[in-house]
Amino acid sequence: MRLRAWRLVSAACMVAALAPFAQASTGIDCARLAEQDEPESAQAWYERSLWASHCYDFRARAVRIGSDGVRTLALSHEVKDGVERERARFLDGPAVAFEREGRIARPGGLASADARAQAAPPHTLVEHLDSLYRLQLSGADRIAGRASVRLDIEPLDDHRYGHRLWLDAATGLPLKKILLDERGRVLETFQITELHAPGLHRGGIELVSAAPPPDVPWRPGWLPEGFVSQPVAPQGERHPSPRHRIYGDGLSTLSLFVEPLEDRDLLMPGLHRLGVSHAAVLHRELGDRPRQVVAMGELPADVLRRVVESVVWVEDSEGGEMADAPDETTAEQAEPDGDDAR
């Protein structure tokens, strides 16, 4: 059976880094980037890159090299009236375009529902990552005709992938990214080839409250260290799916689906390769019904397999199962990526 790939994008993984620049919890002040001295540590460079990705207007050309070959893209990012607008359009191969418009979720930290996490002082995203990855500077380079700083991000365990980042020395914008598997092999390279005069947005960017995911009668019994449930889209923008959850460690994410088997095009149980991502599919009895459990993400295959095997059924607060209403997103509705299931 053919499995359509799911490209994971979760802005929630970055929201905790916004806290130092919050304006009375209503927005962020991008103009403060211009007042900062050049970062001296790997952690400071990474935090600056997160800010830069939100606060700079730019247009760019880029190339992505992965298992499906080489593809070129046109990218743009702008902030208008406190709202971000991002666009990405492939310039070769199948005509595919992505667009995102919206306000940034209010920083709520990466703390889970665990009481100890709630009692602890709020941590920035970078501080959270520092307990899971080794961040270090690895010299300077020249990318897209611009001076850049290389940042190596090495996982401290074998439950996640490594990253190499080249950040623009003038702005902090990412110019090149390399994803490495658990053996250090290159899985994907993304590189800016032309960056057209990035300009710092001098105003603020609004923050809105992110809604917690609704209660579900299931949960993963195991997740890699540092992975916590991510907030859903801000209230009013999208109704969260009762069958879909996203978990992240601040850099890596995984999507978890638990769906009834009835009246559905089933995915073949086992492991599937989706470009640089994997999907683990398992059919199990959960809540006295047969269900399909799917975990997808840019993570080692064994990690995703362990997650789907660990899912347990728990009664919700009212002692019953959530209604099986139609979802907005299911495992079968993922974006095509051109790779067949193995």
pLDDT over 80 (residue 327)? no
Q: What is the token pair recorded at 130?
A: 């520092």
Residue reference for tokens 């990855």: 133
245: nearest Cα among 255, 253, 259, 235: 255
CA separation, residue 183 to residues 46, 186, 297 (Å): 24, 9, 17
Q: pLDDT band for position 192 (50/70/90)? A: very high
Q: For residue 71, which of 275, 253, 301 has the smallest C-alpha distance?
A: 275
Buried b (16+ CB within 10 A) or exposed e, 3-42: bbbbebebbbbbbbbbbebeeeeebbebeebeeeeebeeb
More confident residue, 67 or 159: 159
The burial of 173, by beta-carbon neighbours within 10 Å (0-12 exposed, 13-18 middle, 19 or more buried), is given as buried
CA distance 245 to 242: 8
Residue 324 structure tokens: 């099986």
Handedness of CA 277, 18, 39, 201 (dihedral sign): positive
17-57 confidence digits (pLDDT tens): 333 444 434 567 888 888 889 999 999 999 899 889 989 99
Answer with the residue of higher pLDDT: 177 or 124.
177
DSSP letter at 209? Answer: P
pLDDT per residue over 232-281, tens digit each?
554 444 444 668 899 999 899 999 999 988 766 688 999 998 888 899 99
pTM above 0.75, yes or no: yes
User: Nearest Cα to 84, choosing from 104, 70, 65, 64?
Assistant: 104
Q: How far is CA 169 from CA 51, 60, 130, 338, in A?
A: 14, 17, 22, 35
